[in-house]
Each structure stands twice: as C-alpha cells, then as structure tokens.
C-alpha cells in the first residue's frame, strides 16, 4: 500500500481532483483541495502521488490547523443554535394554532354534555 507524507501533492482518483496531504490520521489522509476551500479524508488506495511536487509544511502547521478546527466548530455551533431557534419558533406557532382547536373541542363537548342532562 502506498504511503504519503504531509505536503505531498496527490490526485483523488475517482474525483479527478488534485490537492495536498495536510494531515495523516492512521489509515486516512486528509487532503486539501481547491486552495484549502475543501478538506476531506481518503484512504491511500484512493490517492495517487503527483511526481515532483512536495510542499513542506510550516513550523506552525499544527497550531494553524487547530485554529481552523475551532472556527469550523464555532460555525457548526451557530448552525445548531439557529436550528434550535427555528424549532422553538415553529413549536410556538404550533401551540398558538392548536389552542383554539382545543378550546373549541372542550366547548362543543360541554354543550353536548349539557344537552344530555
């Protein structure tokens, strides 16, 4: 099985895209494509080394990567918070719509019960 190093330029076989290995996690290689716009993980069998192109990572590589992870997690949290707010709003609207139906039901049941007496 082919092994790659951080900084190797690779081609993703089934996507016909090129990118750079930015991290290695066991059998998975994190590859940055489109100038860092996308990052995805691949197995070595899905990658092909492009000869003669190697980028040496900077000394601050790990700390820069962690900053990216933190910013993406804060983006994810804001999406979760937005989803929570939307869910709360929809639940509130549903309760407001259901209240008149419930009141009408009890009113009709009260009339039906009083007419039996």
* pLDDT at residue 9 tops 60: yes
With respect to residue 45, please indicate whether it lies within any of the assigned structural domains.
yes
* pLDDT at residue 100 tops 50: yes
Pick 114 or 18 by higher pLDDT. 18
The pLDDT value recorded for residue 53 is 54
Looking at the structure, tell me whether residues 115 and 66 fall in a common domain.
yes
- Beta carbons of 4 and 24 less than 8 angstroms apart: yes
Looking at the structure, tell me whether residues 72 and 49 fall in a common domain.
no
The pLDDT value recorded for residue 57 is 56
Containing domain of residue 79, as a range? Answer: 58-117
Which tens digits make up the pLDDT trace of 20-30?
Answer: 989 888 888 99
* Cα 5 to chain centroid, rounded: 26
pTM of the predicted protein model: 0.44
Looking at the structure, tell me whether residues 50 and 89 fall in a common domain.
no
Looking at the structure, tell me whether residues 66 and 105 fall in a common domain.
yes
With respect to residue 37, please indicate whether it lies within any of the assigned structural domains.
yes
Question: In this structure, what CATH number is given to the domain that contains residue 50?
Answer: 2.30.30
The strand pair at 8-12 and 47-54 is best described as antiparallel
Pick 61 or 12 by higher pLDDT. 12
Looking at the structure, tell me whether residues 68 and 110 fall in a common domain.
yes
Looking at the structure, tell me whether residues 45 and 67 fall in a common domain.
no
- Going by C-beta distance under 8 Å and a sequence separation of 6 or more, which residues neighbour residue 49? 2, 4, 8, 9, 10
Which tens digits make up the pLDDT trace of 42-94?
Answer: 998 999 888 765 555 555 555 444 444 444 545 555 777 777 777 888 888 88
Domain boundary among 57, 79, 97: 57
């Amino acid at each position: 099985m082919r092994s790659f190093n951080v900084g190797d330029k690779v081609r993703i076989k089934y996507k016909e895209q090129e990118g750079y290995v930015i991290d290695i996690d066991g059998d998975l290689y994190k590859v940055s494509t489109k100038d860092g716009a996308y990052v995805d993980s691949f197995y070595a069998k899905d990658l092909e080394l492009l000869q003669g192109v190697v980028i040496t990572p900077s000394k601050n590589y790990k700390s820069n990567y962690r900053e990216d992870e933190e910013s993406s997690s804060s983006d994810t949290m804001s999406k979760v918070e937005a989803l929570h707010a939307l869910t709360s709003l929809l639940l509130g609207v549903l309760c407001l719509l259901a209240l008149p139906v419930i009141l009408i039901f009890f009113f009709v049941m009260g009339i039906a019960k009083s007419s039996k007496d």
